[in-house]
Structure 1
Amino acid sequence: MRPIILGILAAFFFAFTFIMNRSMELDGGSWIWSASLRYFFMIPFLLLLVLWRKNLRPLMAEMKKDPRAWFVWSFIGFGLFYGPLCFSAAYAPGWLIASTWQVTIISGSLLAPLFFETVITKMGPVQVKGKVPIKGMAMSMIILLGIMFIQIEHAGMLSLKEVMLGVVPVIIASFAYPLGNRKMMDVCGGRLDVFQRVLGMTIASMPLWIVLAIYGLFTAGSPSIGQSVQSGLVAITSGVIATILFFQATDLVRGNMQKLGAVEATQSLEVLFVVSGELLFLKAAFPTVISWAGMFLVMAGMVLHSFVSHKGDALNKKNVSA
């Protein structure tokens, strides 16, 4: 249960992203600064953590081995993840973005054939091509059904433009985040801890954020003090705390696609946290009975997803021993 608990904690801190990004947009801040400032602020915090653990030199040595892979998968895992999320906040409310983001539960499972997983046999560990976890996908559909319940009464209030510009970028991000994360785990091969990996990916994605910031200066002007403060809070809560918790959870189940899918499914709880946060801080409308029914489905689906993954893993071990 440790990876699941870490995943739930990560979902809580990730929720700050959706709430604060929407708050910054409502205050007139540009999505460009919401995206780039987060990663600028992450660098010093992560650097201090890695230096304190005396692990900076091994990280630099590892990045020098394959700088192209670090740049490509960091660009995908961080750039194509957070840029579209911030962009969508300019066109859609936080609850819609958080709900759509849960498509990553399905996205992560669909990406399984692109990776290899470790299977324990009588001859020892064997690398086999990953398969889409059908049972886990069924549990994921329950989660998505719950999310549809939560938002069904609000969907009619959105224009086609809000749907296209607020939803499509989030779907792109939902594939980019697990793809970049998993590929970087393969590149690192267990040689780096989670603090080193997050710092390395942040450094490798810096060219993107620098270019984006320069573009922002010429098109949107400099960020306000309020946006800078909120971006700093997002960097700490979501960029540092949540990312480290989530990456640690995925590291614990690396090589097991079923358990990895269960950990990624814990992010469905972001919807509940975002709804609560918008009620408290953005004065959003109180959820109706249908919305609460949807929240129950989300939690039930997450529990069932976790149960199926552990049961499937136990069955695989039983078949191997037989």
Structure 2
Amino acid sequence: MKEIFIGIIASMFFAVTFILNRSMELSGGSWVWSSSLRFLFMLPFLFLIVLFRHNLKQVIQEMKKQPIQWFWWSFVGFVLFYAPLTYAASYGPGWLVAGTWQTTIVAGVLISPLFFNNVKIPIRALCISFIILSGVAIIQMQSANTLAVKDIIIGIMPVLIAAFAYPLGNRKMMEVCGGRLDTFQRVLGMTLATLPVWFIICIFGFIKSGGPSTDQIFQAFIVAICSGVIATSLFFIATDSVRKHQSKLAAVEATQSTQVLFVVIGEVLLLSVPLPNATASVGLIVIITGMLLHSYYAKKIKTKQKKPAA
């Protein structure tokens, strides 16, 4: 599927988040600035894109119709997603955060019947997602024994919160927008809705640890462009295209598992992290197999839908 390919490309840009967030923490930067600066840097780019497309007025009108819904689900999808991820980077390496983040694959499938009407859990998609998740777990075995239990718990729990918040916020905002806004409009609206929260976080960060360093500002800017603008927009384009088909949506969300591959490569090249051992390599093969199964299953459903009735 075209949407699966878009999701994989988005995952490549998303991987920048885990690599640079860890890099910023290792250089002494606060997670508070890593999280807030990303969205503050995203805003002008999204604003200009929507403005040049002459779609800004429609965003404001939609936000005025349901301001509480916009604020709450944007808060869930952006703040409860990204703040815990950057916090977790303070306690664990990029591979641990990126690996744990893959629970969002299963989370996206599980939340469907809990928060959406007349939606059943796609069992086959859920089973395939667990295959991918098992591959991620195998990768973690490479370095998990080198970390203290406390670091593992503190590094994992915030990521689990983010893993459920991101697909929930994304799906609820698609429901709120009802197809009336394109991807760039929706991301801009969600960024505007959460702007007060990011300003509060900035104030907290300044009081607690002072201003960000020049190096952290630069790296946060790179994250904003690669992950905040490019990756988020691509991922939302892919999920928007299949939002009415739960199995296909699960397949697109499962493409995020490829982030682990990109993070491993990035950390080896940029942060001198050791190459994956034989066990981790098996995990990578399991992840790729799961992705192929998701792609095959989604394509099979599409073929059945196109098949004319007898």
Indicate the TM-score class for this superposition, using the shorter chain for normalisation.
over 0.9
| Deviation for aligned residue 1:115 | 5.1
Aligned to 2:261: 272
Structure 2 counterparts to residues 238-253 of structure 1, below 5 A: 238-253=227-242
Question: What does residue 104 of structure 1 align with?
Answer: 104
Match for residue 57 of structure 2? 57
Residues 1:305 and 2:276 aligned together: no
Equivalent in the alignment of 1:257:
246
- Structure 2 partner of 1:30: 30
SS in 2 for 1:156: helix
Distance 2:184 2:35 in 1: 21
Structure 1 position 160, deviation (Å)? 1.6
Secondary structure of 2:141's partner?
helix
- Which stretch of structure 1 is more off in the superposition, 143-152 or 75-84? 143-152
CA distance in 1 between counterparts of 2:48 and 2:304 reads 43
> 1:88 maps to what in 2?
88
Query: Structure 2: any 5+ residue segments left out of the alignment?
Result: none
In the TM superposition, residue 316 of structure 1 has moved relative to its aligned partner by: 5.9
Q: Do 1:16 and 1:274's aligned partners in 2 also have CA atoms closer than 8 Å? A: yes
Deviations 1:21-71 (A, max 9, x none): 000000000000000000000000000100110100011111100010000
Instruction: State whether structure 2 residue 283 is matched by structure 1 residue 294.
Output: yes
Q: For residue 164 of structure 1, report the CA deviation from its aligned partner.
A: 1.4
Contact 1:269 1:298 in 2 (8 A): yes
Superposed displacement of residue 204, structure 1: 0.4
Range with bigger deviation, 300-309 or 80-89: 300-309
> What is the 5 A alignment of 1:163-174?
163-174=152-163
Deviates more, 1:175-184 or 1:106-115: 106-115
1:92-241 to 2 correspondences below 5 Å? 92-114=92-114, 116=116, 129-241=118-230
Give the RMSD, CA atoms, in angstroms: 1.3
| In structure 2, distance between residues paired with 1:299 and 1:87 | 29
Structure 1 stretches of 4+ with a deviation exceeding 2 A read 309-318
Separation (CA, whole Å) in 1 of partners of 2:232 and 2:259: 14
- What residue is the counterpart of 1:123 in the other structure? none
Shift in Å, 1:321 = 3.9
How far apart, CA to CA, are the structure 2 residues paired with 1:269 and 1:281? Answer: 18
CA distance in 2, matches of 1:155, 1:43: 37
Count how many residue pairs are aligned between Structure 1 and Structure 2: 310
Structure 1 residue matching 2:146: 3-state secondary structure: coil
Write the deviation string for residues 128-163 of structure 1: whole angstroms up to 9, x where unpaired: 611111111111111111111212121111112111
Distance (Å, rounded) in 1 between the aligned partners of 2:178 and 2:2: 21
The residue type paired with residue 46 of structure 2 is: L
Structure 1 alignment gaps of length 5 or more: 117-127
Amino acid in structure 1 at the alignment position of 2:300: K
| Aligned-partner Cα distance in 2 for 1:29–1:291 | 30
Q: TM (normalized to structure 2)?
A: 0.97
SS in 2 for 1:205: helix
CA contact (8 A) 2:142 2:276 kept: no
How far apart, CA to CA, are the structure 1 residues paired with 2:73 and 2:282? Answer: 38
Q: Deviations over 1:261-295 (max 9, x none)?
A: 00000000000000000000000011111111111
Q: Which moved more, 1:1-10 or 1:235-244?
A: 1-10
Percent identity of the aligned residues?
55
Contact 1:114 1:129 in 2 (8 A): no
Determine if contact 1:258/1:313 at 8 Å carries over to the other structure: no
